[in-house]
Amino acid sequence: MKNLAFILSCVFLSCSTQPMKQSNTTPSFEQLMADGFTEMRIIEANDTPCQFLLKSKNGTVYEVEEIQSRIPGMKANTNIYVKFTPLKRVSQCNAQPIKIEELHQ
Protein backbone atom coordinates (compact mmCIF):
# COMPACT_ATOMS: atom_id res chain seq x y z
CA MET A 1 0.00 0.00 0.00
CA LYS A 2 2.87 2.39 0.79
CA ASN A 3 4.50 1.57 -2.54
CA LEU A 4 1.29 2.44 -4.40
CA ALA A 5 1.04 5.79 -2.62
CA PHE A 6 4.69 6.52 -3.42
CA ILE A 7 4.24 5.65 -7.11
CA LEU A 8 1.09 7.77 -7.41
CA SER A 9 2.76 10.76 -5.76
CA CYS A 10 5.72 10.47 -8.16
CA VAL A 11 3.39 10.38 -11.14
CA PHE A 12 1.46 13.46 -9.98
CA LEU A 13 4.64 15.40 -9.23
CA SER A 14 6.17 14.60 -12.59
CA CYS A 15 3.01 15.76 -14.39
CA SER A 16 2.91 19.14 -12.66
CA THR A 17 6.53 20.13 -13.30
CA GLN A 18 6.75 20.20 -17.08
CA PRO A 19 10.02 21.66 -18.31
CA MET A 20 9.93 24.48 -20.83
CA LYS A 21 10.66 23.26 -24.34
CA GLN A 22 13.65 24.80 -26.09
CA SER A 23 14.30 24.30 -29.75
CA ASN A 24 17.86 24.18 -31.09
CA THR A 25 17.07 23.81 -34.80
CA THR A 26 17.02 26.87 -37.05
CA PRO A 27 13.65 27.18 -38.80
CA SER A 28 12.89 30.26 -40.88
CA PHE A 29 11.14 33.33 -39.51
CA GLU A 30 8.02 32.49 -41.52
CA GLN A 31 7.96 28.92 -40.18
CA LEU A 32 8.26 30.16 -36.58
CA MET A 33 5.39 32.61 -37.06
CA ALA A 34 3.25 29.89 -38.67
CA ASP A 35 3.97 27.63 -35.67
CA GLY A 36 2.57 30.26 -33.28
CA PHE A 37 5.78 31.88 -32.05
CA THR A 38 5.97 35.60 -31.31
CA GLU A 39 9.15 37.55 -32.02
CA MET A 40 10.29 39.50 -28.96
CA ARG A 41 13.25 41.64 -28.05
CA ILE A 42 14.97 41.39 -24.66
CA ILE A 43 15.14 44.88 -23.14
CA GLU A 44 16.68 46.24 -19.96
CA ALA A 45 14.15 47.62 -17.50
CA ASN A 46 16.21 50.04 -15.44
CA ASP A 47 13.24 52.00 -14.09
CA THR A 48 11.41 48.93 -12.68
CA PRO A 49 12.15 46.20 -10.12
CA CYS A 50 12.74 43.82 -13.04
CA GLN A 51 16.17 43.70 -14.65
CA PHE A 52 14.91 42.50 -18.06
CA LEU A 53 11.58 42.49 -19.91
CA LEU A 54 10.43 41.25 -23.31
CA LYS A 55 8.98 43.61 -25.94
CA SER A 56 6.95 42.46 -28.94
CA LYS A 57 7.02 44.08 -32.39
CA ASN A 58 3.71 45.82 -31.63
CA GLY A 59 5.24 47.50 -28.54
CA THR A 60 3.62 45.40 -25.80
CA VAL A 61 5.99 44.80 -22.89
CA TYR A 62 5.97 41.45 -21.08
CA GLU A 63 7.28 40.35 -17.69
CA VAL A 64 8.63 36.83 -17.13
CA GLU A 65 9.28 35.51 -13.63
CA GLU A 66 12.88 34.38 -13.19
CA ILE A 67 13.63 35.44 -16.76
CA GLN A 68 17.38 34.84 -16.52
CA SER A 69 16.92 31.18 -15.61
CA ARG A 70 14.23 30.70 -18.29
CA ILE A 71 16.27 32.19 -21.14
CA PRO A 72 19.83 30.83 -21.08
CA GLY A 73 22.60 33.14 -22.31
CA MET A 74 20.24 36.12 -22.29
CA LYS A 75 21.56 39.51 -23.48
CA ALA A 76 19.75 42.82 -23.86
CA ASN A 77 18.75 43.85 -27.40
CA THR A 78 18.60 40.23 -28.59
CA ASN A 79 15.62 38.90 -30.53
CA ILE A 80 14.02 35.61 -29.46
CA TYR A 81 10.90 33.70 -30.48
CA VAL A 82 8.50 32.47 -27.80
CA LYS A 83 5.18 30.74 -27.35
CA PHE A 84 3.62 32.05 -24.16
CA THR A 85 0.55 32.06 -21.96
CA PRO A 86 -0.67 35.29 -20.29
CA LEU A 87 -0.84 35.11 -16.50
CA LYS A 88 -3.55 36.64 -14.36
CA ARG A 89 -1.51 38.21 -11.61
CA VAL A 90 -0.39 41.68 -10.65
CA SER A 91 2.68 42.91 -12.50
CA GLN A 92 5.68 44.06 -10.51
CA CYS A 93 7.18 45.86 -13.51
CA ASN A 94 4.27 47.59 -15.28
CA ALA A 95 4.21 44.87 -17.95
CA GLN A 96 1.93 41.94 -18.91
CA PRO A 97 3.03 38.87 -16.89
CA ILE A 98 3.49 35.76 -19.06
CA LYS A 99 4.70 32.18 -18.79
CA ILE A 100 7.01 31.03 -21.56
CA GLU A 101 5.85 27.69 -22.95
CA GLU A 102 8.42 27.27 -25.72
CA LEU A 103 11.52 29.22 -26.69
CA HIS A 104 13.64 29.54 -29.80
CA GLN A 105 16.74 31.74 -29.76
Q: Which domains does the chain have, with CATH numbers?
A: 20-104 (2.40.50.500)
Please give the biggest Cα pair distance in the chain.
Answer: 56
Q: Which amino acid is at 59?
A: G
pLDDT digits (tens, 9 = 90+) for 14-57: 443 444 455 555 678 788 888 889 999 999 988 778 889 999 99
Q: What is the pTM of this model?
A: 0.70
* Other C-beta atoms lying within 10 Å of the C-beta of residue 81: 19
Mean pLDDT to the nearest integer, 75-100: 91
